[in-house]
Structure 1
Amino acid sequence: MITRRTLLGGLTAGAATAALAGRAAGAPVPRAAGPLPLHVVNNSGAYANTSVWIYVIGTAGDQQVHLTPDGRLAPVALADNGPDGFTDYAVPLAAGGTTTVNLSPMSGRIYVALGSKLKIKAVTDGNGRPALATPAGWVAGDPNYNVLHDSVEFTYDAGGMHCNTTMVDMFSVPISLRLTGAADQTTGTLKDGARDQIFADVKAAAGFDRLVIGDRRVIAPSHGLEAGLFAADYFAPAIDEAWSAYAAKDLTVKTVAGTFTGRTGGGQLTFHGPGTVSFAKPSTRDVLMCDGALAAPNDRIRGPIAAVLGSALNRSTLAGHATQPVTDPAAFYQAQRTHHYARAMHAATRDGKAYGFPFDDVGNFAAYVEDHAPKDLTLTLTRF
């Protein structure tokens, strides 16, 4: 299954963003991907269509591209920067009703901006090619810090459409996705009043309160840690507890490659099974970013085990459940010291699915949909 963790690097210059890529195992034989209608519906109740803009940016082949208002896919060019130093790649909504544009095959993000346009700069990447420095709403010095905005991720290719709503970096605007084709799927829809509830829940959680940035957004604790707004050792007691738990008993992890059995020793958690792999004790940053000691390469051994360990630490199930992954959501986020940001995101959605951290797809709990014969995609700004 394609997930947010199957990523294309280098989508932006100077900003931590990525896009879905690839094709799901078992997908039909690739076909030519023609234009796919993208419908944008503004049911926010807070902003008129004339105060909402979308931006479709990403990569096609080895080029960074953007969608023009007339539906063309155009390469990014440094000459697109205006007198203010930024591009204007905004696609305005129709004056009323639904706005429809056609998506061409590409991998990227659909940004939505409410009240003000985004400032997206064309720059040169490390290979000397035109690229984009996209919004980083978690960085106080970013030119879009005061703009209300959010995004979804997608890849549209010969294997179909793969897309998700994401809170991995931040949450600001309620957005749902409906993908029709071989099936009719919707994800990301918040419960009534859930935006306010997310802000309140994160604000009330010990250690998470500084992640709430006024009424604009809630930033993920991984970025809060980088900004000095979240404790760098927050998960240390939970990590120590989990490592201690398996010094004298087995930890069983089931993956697509088979079943692995692990024990801790010498600071390492070592697994044996279809292969042997060891993990150093991760840091709080590793847990939140699903990186470092928990980095998940695209292989059949280390990557899948890292994803299971990372999800279990974020969901506070690792120490107390000797068989992983845990698939009952009632067991998630039960510890006092847990990932309260991700907990709030999942509690807010109607289907219980969200991307609160990068390994949130483990167990199929991510706000992700795909279709190998897509007909159209609808992005809806739901009620604030």
Structure 2
Amino acid sequence: MFRLRKMLVAAVAGLVVATGLTVSGPAPEAAAVPDTIPFTITNDSGRAEPIYIYNLGTELSSGRLGYADASGTFHAWPAGGNPPVPAPDASIPGPAAGGSVTIQLPKFSGRVYFSVGEKLNFALTPDGLVQPAVQNPSDPNRDILFNWSEYTLNDAGLWINSTQVDMFTVPYTVGVEEQNGTVRTTGELKPGGYSAVFDAVTDAGWGNLVHTDQNGTPLRVLSPGHGVGTGDVPADAMADYIDRVWEHYRSNTLTVVPIAHEPDNVYRGTVEGDVMNFTDASGAVVTSFQKPDTDSVFGCHKHLDAPNDQVRGPLSRTLCAGFNRTTLLTNSQQPDPDNSQFYQDAVTNHYARAIHEQMVDGKAYAFAFDDVGAHESLVHDGDPAAAFMTLAPAD
């Protein structure tokens, strides 16, 4: 099972990342994947500004946090301070307009950042790396155009995604080349899709999520998961839908099969008071959820916490997806596989709706558990020959 785990610790100017993507499942019998694979970044953005690349994360063989240079060589971060101290410059010169640069991805769990025009500001605390957190108005990266992809490369292969969990900004695609030459990609926007996302979020009344630079040029759309905390989205944005769901399941049963390859593992949920209790096949209550608030839904946390276990975590992931996609009232069998029925309620996650609508393959990582039902923008191969990222025009 592929699982997106963001173990984040709040820091002064941003986030201290303890780990990135992790992959759980049976250990492979042999290490078929080489120590590094080529990763080609192509600049089809039409932008003339310099591009800077960063490969940051966890070295899987040692568990150390650090960065990789262009050759894939690992460098551990030095000790940090309190207040945070500047991190070493881990930037790699990126491709010029119309060009490509190839670096090596090591066996890492982390992120490949790219920034346009300026280098990013990273810092170190005693707990680790402080990464950009542009929901913070004082973050030094607030006015820099940048984005990132998350990936894990290990002995079982490569998992790499395009992500919009935190924000939607300068577009890109990611892909993997199989040993037989087959190439698979994801993250491609429809023509005009970039502007359409900004317009759709604004038309939904969430225009405060749009960040612009000092000249008024749009830089990004902040996710509502951050927008509740910043006040850019009403704290009760999902309250009406949450109320209707809770009332509905006082007299109806929500049936959840949270793990696709375990179809006989079925749970049933009903609401009593402000609590939804889930029972297993024997009728025993296995976990309970307090009635969530908007922040719990958009952030997939708090009342929808998802520990890395086999019961509450998978149930919480499914509930979170159902709330964000607003399918819990139209289908009592979850997760709902039919993406044509997603985001149809007037009260919904308009940010996720807009992004999915503008993706060529319909897939995106617009909230933390958008991978429920395999609707996320992810590519995986067990024996990759190469991988790539292509920066796309913002049209």
Would you say same fold, with TM above 0.5? Answer: yes
Q: Does 1:342 align with 2:345?
A: no
The 3 A distance-change label for structure 1 pair 195 and 301 is same
Pick closer, same or farther for the CA change 1:34–1:11 going to 2, 3 Å.
farther
For residues 11 and 244 of structure 1, do their structure 2 counterparts lie closer, same or farther at Cα, with a shift above 3 Å needed?
A: closer
- 1:45 is aligned to 46
AA of the residue aligned to 2:225? S
Which of 231, 235, 241 aligns to 1:232? It is: 235
Task: State the distance in 1 between where 2:246 and 2:38 align.
Answer: 49
1:122 shift after superposition: 2.7
Taking the aligned partners of 1:85 and 1:235, their CA distance within structure 2 comes to 39
Q: Is the 8 Å Cα contact of residues 69 and 90 (structure 1) preserved in structure 2?
A: no
Spell out the pairing of 1:1-384 with structure 2 (5 A cutoff).
1-4=1-4, 6-7=5-6, 14-15=14-15, 17=17, 18-24=19-25, 29-31=30-32, 33-48=34-49, 51-60=50-59, 61-78=62-79, 85-95=86-96, 97-125=99-127, 131-181=128-178, 184-206=183-205, 208-214=206-212, 215-256=218-259, 257=262, 258-274=265-281, 276-384=286-394
Distance 2:232 2:125 in 1: 29
Question: 1 CA distance for matches of 2:107 and 2:381?
Answer: 14
Quick check: 23-32 or 252-261, which moved more? 23-32
Deviation of 1:272 after TM superposition, in Å, equals: 1.4
- Note the alpha carbon deviations across 1:5-53, whole angstroms, 9 max, x for none: x4555698841655101244586644464111010000001235xx111
Larger deviation, residues 337-346 vs 313-322:
313-322
Q: Which string of whole-angstrom CA distances, capped at 9 and with x for unpartnered residues, describes residues 305-346 of structure 1?
A: 111111111011112321111111111111111100001110
Q: For 1:203 and 1:25, how far apart are their aligned partners in 2?
A: 45
Q: Aligned equivalents of 2:33 and 2:328: distance in 1?
A: 44
Partner of 2:231, secondary structure, is: coil
Structure 1 Cα separation of the partners of residues 11 and 183 of structure 2: 32
- Whether the 8 Å CA contact 1:19–1:153 is kept in 2: the answer is yes
Q: d(CA) in 2 for partners of 1:174 and 1:32?
A: 29
Deviations 1:132-152 (A, max 9, x none): 111112221101000000111
The AA in structure 2 aligned to 1:148 is L
Greater displacement, 95-104 / 170-179 = 95-104
| Secondary structure of the corresponding residue to residue 104 of structure 2 | strand
Q: CA deviation at 1:123?
A: 2.7
Q: Which runs of 5+ in 2 are unaligned?
A: 213-217
Aligned-partner Cα distance in 1 for 2:11–2:137? 18
Q: Is the 8 A contact 1:11 1:59 kept in 2?
A: no
Q: Aligned letter for 1:322?
A: S
Of stretches 260-269 and 337-346 in structure 1, the one that deviates more from structure 2 is 260-269
**1:376 Cα deviation (Å)?**
0.7
Q: Which amino acid aligns with 2:142?
A: Y
The answer as to whether partners of 1:87 and 1:119 remain within 8 angstroms in 2 is: no
CA-CA distance at 1:87 after TM superposition = 3.1
Query: Distance between the aligned counterparts of 1:26 and 1:87, measured in 2?
Result: 34
Q: Which secondary structure state, in structure 2, belongs to the residue aligned with residue 138 of structure 1?
A: coil
Retained in 1: the 8 A contact 2:245–2:329? yes
Post-superposition offset of 1:357 = 0.5
Instruction: Give the percent of matched residue pairs that are identical in Structure 1 and Structure 2.
Output: 33
Amino acid at match of 2:274: G
Measure how far apart 1:378 and its partner are: 0.4
> Which SS does the other structure have where 1:216 is aligned?
strand
Q: Which moved more, 1:278-287 or 1:254-263?
A: 254-263
C-alpha separation between the residues in 1 aligned to 2:27 and 2:250? 39
AA matched with 1:265 = E
Letter in 2 for 1:75: A
2:258, 2:147 → 1: CA distance?
33
CA distance in 2, matches of 1:27, 1:242: 42
Specify the code of the residue in structure 2 equivalent to 1:358. A
Q: Report runs of 4+ in structure 1 exceeding 6 Å deviation.
A: 10-13
Question: Contact 2:80–2:125 (CA<8 Å) still a contact in 1?
Answer: no
Secondary structure at 1:299 match in 2: coil
TM-score normalised per structure 1:
0.91
Gaps of 5+ in 1: 126-130
Q: TM-score, normalised by structure 2?
A: 0.88
**Displacement, 1:71?**
3.9
CA distance in 2, matches of 1:8, 1:119: 21
Q: How far apart in 2 are the matches of 1:24 and 1:10? A: 26
Residue identity matched to 2:192 = G
Which residue identity lines up with residue 155 of structure 1 in the other structure? T
Asked if the contact 1:192/1:383 (under 8 Å) is kept, the reply is: no
- Could you tell me how far apart the structure 1 residues matched to 2:325 and 2:27 are? 29
- Stretch of structure 1 that moved more, 300-309 or 70-79: 70-79
Task: Give the total of aligned pairs.
Answer: 372
Q: 1:164 to 1:282 in 2, by over 3 A?
A: same
Shift of 1:255: 2.5
Structure-2 separation of matches of 1:157 and 1:12: 29
Q: CA deviation at 1:79?
A: 8.7
- For the structure 1 residues 76 and 252, does the alpha-carbon distance in structure 2 shift closer, same or farther, using more than 3 Å as the test? same
